[in-house]
């Protein structure tokens, strides 16, 4: 859609972006689910999977599907660059007027993308929040601490900052100069969007426990990188010329 909500006749309506690292067992079911749901929600869609230097055969799974369905696109990083770098690569490559992203771990019900799209014509960003969050309690405790820190530093009133279930209008992604290469990217997206005055709407979404693979978001190295990137963004946005602007119609 354009800013006015009108759809250009020759464009991709909807892009679904999935960063993936060592998610081989999940990718086949993910692609089946994504194709089924996207076909119901849009006439012209694409699915972009970014393999971030995986050590398994996940890229092969995606490449095989892409050979039989040109709507599936694979982006490969030779070496692991980090979640933020993979997500940024997918968002840059996405051609849709609406761009959705989620993780490849099957912890979300992709059918609920329809709940976000109901609000996409009225808001710049529609962000899901996990209700309830099904991660183990140490992960939930860490998320609470991180959310409190971000709200305190940036006055960002978002219920679930790191929920990887969001839809963006294309003009938002074109306007945001993302720099994060790690897990901080979700926070950076929302903080920069708030700074630019984009409108955010929040929607509750279901969350499931991970069935295959390992979570890496709580690794000390990941947390340390996120703190460094947080400090860098805080310094940048506190400069007088780039002060935080009031949010518009956020809820």
Domain boundaries, the chain: 12-241
Contact partners, residue 216, CB within 8 Å, separation at least 6: 21, 83, 222
Q: What are phi and psi of 48, to 5 degrees?
A: -115, 120
Query: What pTM was computed for the model?
Result: 0.85
* Structure tokens, 127: 């962000």
Burial class (CB within 10 angstroms; exposed 0-12, middle 13-18, buried 19+) of 147: middle
Per-residue pLDDT, 7: 41
Under CATH, what is the fold of the domain 12-241?
Spore Coat Polysaccharide Biosynthesis Protein SpsA; Chain A (3.90.550)
Per-residue pLDDT, 176: 94
Per-residue pLDDT, 249: 45
pLDDT in tens, the chain (251 residues): 333 344 444 567 999 999 999 999 999 999 999 999 999 999 999 999 999 999 999 999 999 999 999 999 999 999 999 999 999 999 999 999 999 999 999 999 999 999 999 999 999 999 999 998 888 888 888 888 988 999 989 988 899 999 999 999 999 999 999 999 998 999 999 999 999 999 999 999 999 877 755 555 556 888 888 899 999 998 998 875 444 444 444 45
In the chain, the DSSP E strands lie at 12-20, 45-52, 72-77, 96-102, 125-130, 165-169, 200-205
Half-sphere exposure of 79 (CA within 13 A, CB side): 1
Contact partners, residue 234, CB within 8 Å, separation at least 6: 153, 154
Per-residue pLDDT, 133: 86
* Structure tokens, 90: 């997918």
Cis preceding linkage at 213, omega within 30: no
DSSP secondary structure letters along 59-103: HHHHHHHHHH-TTEEEEEESS---HHHHHHHHHHH--EEEEEEE-
């Amino acid at each position: 859609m354009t800013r006015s909500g009108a759809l250009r006749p020759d464009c991709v309506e909807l892009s679904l972006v999935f960063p993936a690292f060592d998610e081989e067992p999940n990718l086949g079911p993910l692609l089946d689910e994504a194709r089924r749901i996207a076909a119901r929600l849009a006439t012209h869609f694409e699915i972009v999977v970014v393999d971030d230097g995986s050590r398994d055969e996940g890229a092969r799974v995606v490449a095989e599907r892409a050979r039989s369905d040109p709507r599936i696109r694979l982006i490969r990083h030779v070496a692991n660059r980090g979640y933020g770098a993979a997500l940024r690569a997918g968002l840059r490559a996405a051609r849709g007027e609406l761009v959705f992203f989620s993780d490849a771990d099957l912890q979300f019900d992709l059918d609920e993308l329809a709940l976000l799209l109901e609000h996409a014509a009225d808001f710049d960003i529609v962000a899901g929040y996990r209700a309830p969050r099904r991660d183990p309690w140490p992960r939930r405790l860490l998320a609470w601490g991180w959310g409190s820190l971000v709200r305190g530093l940036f006055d960002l009133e978002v219920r679930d900052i790191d929920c990887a279930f969001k839809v963006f209008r294309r003009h938002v992604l074109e306007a945001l100069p993302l720099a994060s290469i790690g897990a901080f990217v979700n926070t950076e997206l929302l903080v920069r969007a708030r700074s630019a005055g984009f409108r955010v709407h929040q929607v509750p979404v279901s969350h499931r426990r991970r069935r295959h693979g390992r979570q890496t978001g709580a690794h000390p190295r990941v947390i340390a990188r996120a703190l460094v990137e947080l400090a860098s963004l805080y310094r940048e946005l506190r400069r007088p010329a780039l002060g935080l602007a009031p949010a518009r119609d956020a809820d």
